[in-house]
Amino acid sequence: MRIGELAKQAGCDVETVRYYERDGLLAKPEREISGYRNYNTLHLADLQFVRHCRSLGMKLAEIKVLMNFRSSPDGDCAGVNALLDVQIVRVEEQMAAMSLLKEQLIALRNKCEHRRTNKECGIMQSLNYAVQVRKCPCHR
Amino acid sequence: MRIGELAKQAGCDVETVRYYERDGLLAKPEREISGYRNYNTLHLADLQFVRHCRSLGMKLAEIKVLMNFRSSPDGDCAGVNALLDVQIVRVEEQMAAMSLLKEQLIALRNKCEHRRTNKECGIMQSLNYAVQVRKCPCHR
DNA sequence: GCACACCCTGTAGCCGCTACAGGGTCAAGT
DNA sequence: ACTTGACCCTGTAGCGGCTACAGGGTGTGC
């Protein structure tokens, strides 16, 4: 199949496929005489693997590591587990940060009693000062 | 004061200050004969305002809007409120997405019973397929 | 007169794409 | 045989918000 079909099946953009190839994430496919890239179902499986990893928020460098694990099927999968743990920790950290952020934004939003001028606005006034930060409100 | 002192007081990098100036977020300061930028406390207040907004996750374009509100102090602050609401919605959306992500990652993590080979690893096998998505687990 | 901290401009890099420009190829229709 | 239009190619630039140089100039203290 050609690149358009491949991209469609994987639910991504043609440009993205070429980007992955350039980045060394996907193997370079054979070319037709015309120069067109020609893919088979193994290429598709690889691309889908990458897209699934991406949808889980993994970085391309991390996906490369997983691809390497994949190409040594008899190796110990401890590395896979460790990589997943990194993802989970990262997401948890981001969630904690967002939680704090939301709290700050809502506190700020409540500073304004409607229909004031900009200079009287409690929000605008507060933005002149650093946000009061409690020590990690999400973990108590 | 010179740029190094300004950056230090605002808790950011010198390069960041110059970047903000180039981006039109901060006014261009006077120059000394040497060509060095010379700042006063008003510049510092502006920079701190920007940094506080950034720490709340606002985009530079949004901060520009707030700066404009700031320079028309007698205007109606409804726009400020609306902008804050946009921030809050954005953070809530991101938190919902992260929550879903975390759930998916943990489900995936549980697919591997320790000390297998890569090809037997439940995680690696699952990554060949799309993640099962429940309809927004964070809102019920 | 020298060292060293600081400042300047301009450019390139990070990430994961996205969006062109400027061209070639192919298949169907007339 | 010719045209249309969908697809493909390479290469480059842009997004956001910085960060990190290179290659130079300036200021200050000893």
Place B83 in a pLDDT band, splitting at 50, 70 and 90: very high
How many Å is the Cα radius of gyration of chain B?
A: 24
Q: In angstroms, rounded to a whole number, what is the distance separating the alpha carbons of residues B106 and B95? A: 16
Residue A72, pLDDT > 80, answer yes
Query: B133 — contact with chain A (CB < 8 Å)?
Result: no
Query: B70 — contact with chain A (CB < 8 Å)?
Result: yes
Q: What is the pLDDT of residues A78-112, one digit of tens each?
A: 999 999 999 999 999 999 999 988 988 898 888 88
Query: A19 — contact with chain B (CB < 8 Å)?
Result: no
Residue percentage of chain B with pLDDT more than 70: 92
Q: In the beta sheet, which residues pair with residue B76?
A: A117
Give me the pLDDT at residue B138, please: 34
Residues B21 and B58 placed together within one structural domain of the fold:
yes
Residues A31 and A64 placed together within one structural domain of the fold:
yes
* Model ipTM value: 0.84
Place A48 in a pLDDT band, splitting at 50, 70 and 90: very high
Chain C, protein-covered positions (CB within 7 A)? 6-10, 15-20, 25-26
- Which chain B residues are closer than 8 Å to A80 by Cβ? 112, 118, 121, 123-124
The kind and range of the H/E element at A31 are: strand A30-31
Give me the pLDDT at residue B136, please: 39
Place A119 in a pLDDT band, splitting at 50, 70 and 90: confident
Query: B128 — contact with chain A (CB < 8 Å)?
Result: yes
**CATH code assigned at B52:** 1.10.1660.10
- Residue A118 is assigned to a structural domain of this protein: yes
Residue span of the structural domain in which B12 resides: 1-75
Q: What is the pLDDT of residues B116-128, one digit of tens each?
A: 898 889 888 888 8
Q: In angstroms, rounded to a whole number, what is the distance separating the alpha carbons of residues B74 and B42? A: 19
For residue B36, give the nucleotide whose C1' atom is nearest its CA.
C7
- Residue A134 is assigned to a structural domain of this protein: yes
- Residue A60 is assigned to a structural domain of this protein: yes
Residue B131, pLDDT > 80, answer no
Q: In angstroms, rounded to a whole number, what is the distance separating the alpha carbons of residues A128 and B47? A: 9
Residues B8 and B56 placed together within one structural domain of the fold:
yes
Q: In angstroms, rounded to a whole number, what is the distance separating the alpha carbons of residues A115 and B79? A: 10
Contact criterion met (CB < 8 Å) for A91 and B75: no
Give me the pLDDT at residue A131, please: 61
Q: Are B10 and B51 in contact (CB under 8 A)?
A: yes
Residue percentage of chain B with pLDDT more than 90: 65
Residue A116, pLDDT > 90, answer no
Taken in order A99, B123, A84, B128, the sign of the CA dihedral is negative
Residue listed under structure tokens 């502006």: B46
Place A114 in a pLDDT band, splitting at 50, 70 and 90: confident
Between CA B15 and C1' D25 the distance (Å) reads 18
- Residue B83 is assigned to a structural domain of this protein: no
Q: What is the mean pLDDT of chain B?
A: 89
Residues B68 and B135 placed together within one structural domain of the fold:
no
For the residues of B100-122, what is the DSSP string, one character each?
HHHHHHHHHHTT--SS-BTTT-H
Residue percentage of chain A with pLDDT more than 90: 67
- Which chain A residues are closer than 8 Å to B118 by Cβ? 69-70, 72-77, 80
Residues A3 and A67 placed together within one structural domain of the fold:
yes
Q: What is the pLDDT of residues A24-46, one digit of tens each?
A: 999 999 999 999 999 999 999 99
For the residues of A77-104, what is the DSSP string, one character each?
THHHHHHHHHHHHHHHHHHHHHHHHHHH
The count of other CB atoms within 10 Å of the CB of residue A21 is 17
Residue listed under structure tokens 């067109």: A36
Helix, strand, or coil here: A57?
A: coil
Instruction: Tally the domains of chain A.
Output: 2
Residue B64, pLDDT > 70, answer yes
